[in-house]
Structure formats: structure tokens, C-alpha cells
Structure 1
Amino acid sequence: MKRNSPLFDKVLGCLLGGFIGDAMGTPTENLSHDDIQQRFGWVQTFSGDGTDDSLLKHILCETLERTGGHATADAWAADWIRHSQTFVNSKLFFAPVVATFWKLSGEQVLPRDAGAGNMASSSSAMCISPMGIVNAGNPRQAVLETFEVAGLIHHNFCRDGACAMAAAVAQAFVPSTNVESVLRAASEFLPERSAEAMRVALQSTLAMARESAGYEDFRARYYSAAIDVRQHFTDSRETVPLALALVWLAGGDAQKAVEYGANFGRDADTIASMAGAVAGAMGGASALPQAWLDTLGSQADKQRALADRMTRLVHARAEAARAAALIVLETSV
């Protein structure tokens, strides 16, 4: 695959947007926007390699590579066990991820059952963009496959949040796509009844964004809208709708979406990472600021190499789907 192809550019944009968003939002996580303003002013630079968002995402990419782009809960769980020392030694992982790891390694719980009972969080949604990448242009399929994979961490509405994010990323790869079609795809293929909690959260947050006069007005409205009654600040009913609302407010511009997320506060690293992945896939890596790419240093080459491998997976899956369709068409004549 050519590294200068539009598909490669979108894959790399998705990976870089998510990675940079994670790193840029790390210092502002769990702060209010007032705290951010007082401590940092407007955050638009970053350092470091991000958090558990990026760690889990990269492990999921490994799983997709190993399975030819067809990850399952079992396959992803096997790679968690292979990376046992990462989970044991790192203090980055949040409660649901830690719970799943010990269920898998210590209690021998089946991977498909591991997410049952875990607390609500963004742990499944924050790292799920690779499922959108390998299902580029097919948000419906992205939802179906993500529901299986995300079950390793969650069996509740958080799983639906992961499906929404994967669908948004998949739609972002459509060449003629726009922000509205990406937002529509995020909820279009979620079950009407079973995913009601996530659907309602998406609808209400996006409505607030549309009614706002811009980013700062939306942020102020959101913070004043009884935010204290929400569950934990990592609850995916907050982070997933917020990430998509920021993509809308940014007009699909990845730089704006990432900076909006990093300066929003709350679960800033995850919000900025998810917003960056979606907007990055829309505009591609070529639309990202050169200063950001320079800041990445050697990590830029690692992300390009990963993007190359992920692009090959997208192409291989598309070719296999086309071959299967031709067989059906030929035998139906």
C-alpha cells in the first residue's frame, strides 16, 4: 500500500489524532475549565505517550493484526494475558480494566463474560477506534463487531458507547462524509431499546451543542447543567457524547477538536483522544499541524508504521468482502 494514499492518510490521521489527544488531555484530566485556565491558559501543546487509552488501543491493534482484522473478545483477552506485566506494573488502568484483567488471569473467567458487573467508565470506548478503522466505510459492521470485542470490559451502556465511537470512526472514512453523517452513524445502528441510555445521552448533549453559540458557551452550559448529579466523570454517557459534540463544534477540524477536548476538563484525555480519532480520520494526517508531528519525535515513525499495517488490514478485508460478494453474484445468475 502506498503511504501517500488517501486511505493511509485517514488511518494515520485517526491514530495520530487519538494519540495526541490522549497526551494533550493528560495534564488537564479531572480539572474544571476554570482550573485549566488558571494553571495552563489555553492548552495546545503536549508531551509524553498518553495514558491507558493509548496502551489499550495499541494492544487492540496487535489483536487486529494477529487475527487478520477480525478481533474477538477471546483474541483481545489472549493479548491482555500476553501483556500481563503491562497490566500488573502499570498504575494507569482504571477499575473496570483491572477487574477484567484479574478475572481473566486469576479467576479464569471466560472473555465474553469478563465485562459483566464492571463499573461504568470510558474504558471500552476510549480505545476502540481501531475497530472503526478496520470497518472503514461500514459503520453498521463496526457496531456489530465492536459489541463483541467491547464486551471484554463492559456489558452495560458503556458497550454501546464503544459501538457509537467505532461507528463514527468507520463513517469518517467515507470520502464524501461530513460531520452530520458521522454523528448520525454514531447512533443510527445502536438498538433502539437496548441502547436507550446511550442514545438519550447522545441526543441531549448534541442538542445542547447545537443550541450553543460556540465552544465556550457550550462548555459553560454543560458545566452548569447539574453536572454534580452525574455518575463518575469517566462515565461514557458523558465522555462519548461530549467527544462527538466537540467534533461538531470544531466543524470536523482535528486540531480544534483535540484542543477543545484538552481544555474541557473532566475526563479530558479520553474526550480529546476520542474526538481526535474521529476528526483525524475525517481530515487525515495531512490536516494536522506540523508542530504536532514534530513534537511526536520518534513516536511519529511508530505511528506511521502502525498506520501502514492497519491500512493493509483495511485493504485486505475490503478485497475479501468484494471477492465473497462476486461469488454470490456469479452464482445467482
Structure 2
Amino acid sequence: MLEIPSNRFEAHVLACLVFGVIGDAMGTPTENLEPAEIERRFGWVDRFEGDGTDDTIMRDLIAAALIRTGGYADADHWAEEWLAQYQMIFGGKVGRFFPSVLHAAAKLRHGYPPRTIAVGTMPSSSSAMAIAPVGIVNAGNPRAAAAQAMEIASLIHVADVGFCQDGAAAIAAAVAEALVPGATVASVLQASTAHLKPKSGEEMRSLIVTALELADEAGDYKTFRDRYHARFRQRIACDSRETVPASLAIVHLSRGDPALAAGYGANFGRDADTVACMAAAVCGALSGISAGNAELIEALPVDAQRAQVDLASRLVIVTRAKVESELKAIARCPVGVSA
């Protein structure tokens, strides 16, 4: 049985990670299906098998970069993890990766500099779905989380798909706010858009705000799902303009319950595993692990449970070290009122 840390911050970090994996795994069998087809095949999906897909792998690669750099990873550091752990991408789950990510990884291996590999890539959620660790190491500072997420996401999203960077920034900021004691669903959702660029980020901000308004108007999940698919679909199902607003609306509809968010995401259709992964991770960071959702965690393979505990522990250490580093930097140049 998973041992829940007694420290609140550590417990909520663990919940963010473990429910992200659960959402990813729960949405795996429903990925790329229409809602009606999900209902026909499965009824209602609220259980899962396995330990996630590319969402979890890419998240772990970001986490590795953050741990190695004391929480200060950038796009180049993420690229270094792609190269160092190449088989994480091109291993047994290679079929779960979006083609543009595989192409970008191949370009890295052939010597292209990291700042060039994103040119020409299609829109996707490949940065937003993996970005939760950036929110963790910037806990309490959603502005810093959004800025670092924008930089890291530039490895695979730039220029005409720069809105995917905004999607990553929104999820990272939401996680950073969710880890604050006293945070609410409302404060988390407000933080998700508060630090997007005023002009460049307007498209993603507008889509998130509209999706949240739609969730309020719909009143229930299935009505929202139907209306969302009628209005928000993009040409590519994994486009972050479709997945990120849906995920944040599900955070709202689930009232911050990570188990419910995972189920809502898994039954959403289209890029279901990614929607479930992001929504459940944000809700896990906010609500932690409770008696009501702990049973779901036990369905994770034991090795996966242990991996989340270990990763949470290492990210907590990095987060605390990063705070100390920031305090030391401030102390080097005290800013006070002149006498």
C-alpha cells in the first residue's frame, strides 16, 4: 500500500504525480475514440491498467532535467535528457508518441541544435502534458512556473505553434498555485491564465476562459462534453488549443477531485489520455490523496507506485533547494528603503 507522506507539501506533490499517471493510464484505451464509441465499448471508464504512455515518459524526462539542474532546467537541458535516455522515447512505447516528437528526437540525435528542432512541428500537447514538474519546483510562484514552462516548451513548440507553449505555461502555473495551502479551484484556474503573455498568449487565454464559461453554462459533464466537441475541436486531436482548455474545464467540473477528473478525462474522447493526465495532475496537486481516492492508486503496478514516491521525494528536495538558492540570491543584494 502506498505510504502517504505526513508533510502536506510532499503528499500533494506525490498526488500530483501519481494521479497524472493514473489519468494517462485510464485514458489509454479511449484515446482517439469519439464519446459515443467510448460509451458503446466501455460504458463509463473509471478503472485502468498499466502505468501510462508518452505523457508520463515525457514528464519523467522533464523531471530528470529539473533534478539535474537544481530546478533551473531550460529547453537545452530537456533535450539532453532526450539524448541521454533515448530508449525512453524509442523503446516499447514508441507507438504512443506523436510523430513530430519522434522527428524532433531524431533530429537531436543527428546533431541538430535544440533551438532548431521545433521548426515546422505540428501543434500538440507534448509539452503541456509533461509540464507538471515545472509547477512543482516553482510551487507558490505560478508566474515563475509559467515563464520556465514557456522556455522548456520551446524545444518542440515555437513560432506558429507557440500557443502550445502557452498551454504548457497554463498547466504549470495551475500546478504551482494548486500546491499552495488554502488554494481553491477558483484560484488555480485564475492562475492558469494570469501569467500568459498579454498579446501572444491571448488565443490560449481566450480559449480557456471560454471553456470555463461553457462548463458553467452546461452544468453537468456530459452536456459540457457535447458542447465542447461541437465548438473547440482542432484539426489535430492533440492540439493544445483543444486539450488544455478541456483539462482546465474538467478541473472545474470535478471540483478538484483527482479521481473524478481522471474519469472525466478518460471518457472525454479524442486525446483522452492527455486530457485526463493534465486534469488529474492539477487536481492531485490541489486536493492530495484522501480516503476517497486512495483505492484508485492501488491499481497502479507496485513498481509504478514506488517510482512516483521516489520521484516526488527527489522533486521535493529540488524545490526546497531552489527556494534556498533564490533566498541566497536575494540576500546578495538586499533591497531596502534608504535611511
With the shorter chain as reference, the TM-score category is over 0.9
Q: Is the 8 A contact 1:254 1:288 kept in 2?
A: no
Aligned match of 2:129: 126
Say if 2:140 is the partner of 1:137.
yes
Q: Distance in 1 between matches of 2:205 and 2:165?
A: 12
Q: Distance in 2 between matches of 1:297 and 1:84?
A: 24
Aligned match of 2:51: 49
% same residue: 45
Q: Distance in 1 between matches of 2:325 and 2:86?
A: 33
Q: Is the 8 A contact 2:146 2:169 kept in 1?
A: yes
SS of the counterpart of 1:248? helix
Q: How does 1:288-327 map to 2 (within 5 A)?
A: 289-298=293-302, 299-327=304-332
Superposition deviation, residue 332 in structure 1: 6.7
Q: How does 1:139-154 map to 2 (within 5 A)?
A: 139-154=142-157
Deviates more, 1:304-313 or 1:278-287: 278-287
Q: Distance in 2 between matches of 1:6 and 1:287?
A: 15
Q: Distance in 1 between matches of 2:230 and 2:79?
A: 40
Equivalent position to 2:241, from 221, 237, 240: 237
Deviates more, 1:79-88 or 1:3-12: 79-88
Q: Residues 55-111 of structure 1: CA distance to partner in whole angstroms, max 9, x if unpaired?
A: 1111111111111111111111111011223333422210221121122112x2221
Aligned match of 1:8: 10
Q: Residues 205-261 of structure 1: CA distance to partner in whole angstroms, max 9, x if unpaired?
A: 11111111211211122233374xx22111100100000000001111111111110
Give the counterpart letter for 1:311 in structure 2.
V
Aligned match of 1:88: 90
Q: Is the 8 A contact 1:16 1:285 kept in 2?
A: no
SS of the counterpart of 1:295? coil
Q: Distance in 1 between matches of 2:9 and 2:281?
A: 14
Aligned match of 1:193: 199
Q: Distance in 1 between matches of 2:178 and 2:333?
A: 28
Q: Distance in 1 between matches of 2:115 and 2:291?
A: 39
Q: Distance in 2 between matches of 1:48 and 1:232?
A: 26
Aligned match of 1:38: 40
Q: Residues 150-178 of structure 1: CA distance to partner in whole angstroms, max 9, x if unpaired?
A: 11111121111111111111111111111
Give the counterpart letter for 1:21 in structure 2.
G
Q: Distance in 2 between matches of 1:195 and 1:293?
A: 35
Superposition deviation, residue 330 in structure 1: 7.3
Q: Residues 301-325 of structure 1: CA distance to partner in whole angstroms, max 9, x if unpaired?
A: 2211111111111111112222333
Q: Residues 92-143 of structure 1: CA distance to partner in whole angstroms, max 9, x if unpaired?
A: 210221121122112x222122222210011111111111110001010011
Q: Is the 8 A contact 1:3 1:308 kept in 2?
A: no
Q: Distance in 1 between matches of 2:40 and 2:335?
A: 66
TM-score, normalisation: structure 2: 0.93
Give the counterpart letter for 1:141 in structure 2.
A
Give the counterpart letter for 1:249 in structure 2.
L
SS of the counterpart of 2:326? helix
Residues 288 and 158 from structure 1, CA distance in 2 versus in 1: closer, same or farther, beyond 3 angstroms? farther
SS of the counterpart of 1:98? helix
SS of the counterpart of 2:299? helix
Q: Is the 8 A contact 1:25 1:269 kept in 2?
A: yes
Deviates more, 1:108-117 or 1:163-172: 108-117
Residues 287 and 77 from structure 1, CA distance in 2 versus in 1: closer, same or farther, beyond 3 angstroms? farther
TM-score, normalisation: structure 1: 0.94
Deviates more, 1:82-91 or 1:180-189: 82-91
Q: How does 1:94-133 map to 2 (within 5 A)?
A: 94-106=98-110, 108-133=111-136
Instruction: Give the number of equivalent residue pairs.
Output: 329
Give the counterpart letter for 2:187 in structure 1.
S
Deviates more, 1:31-40 or 1:271-280: 31-40
Residue segments in structure 2 that go unaligned for 5+ positions in a row: none
Q: Distance in 1 between matches of 2:173 and 2:114?
A: 23
SS of the counterpart of 2:312? helix
Give the counterpart letter for 2:105 in structure 1.
F
SS of the counterpart of 1:4? coil
Q: Distance in 2 between matches of 1:225 and 1:112?
A: 34
Say if 2:277 is the partner of 1:259.
no
Aligned match of 2:288: 284
Q: Distance in 2 between matches of 1:123 and 1:146?
A: 12
Superposition deviation, residue 264 in structure 1: 0.9
Give the counterpart letter for 1:99 in structure 2.
H
Residues 43 and 314 from structure 1, CA distance in 2 versus in 1: closer, same or farther, beyond 3 angstroms? same
Give the counterpart letter for 1:95 in structure 2.
P
Q: Distance in 2 between matches of 1:271 and 1:76?
A: 22
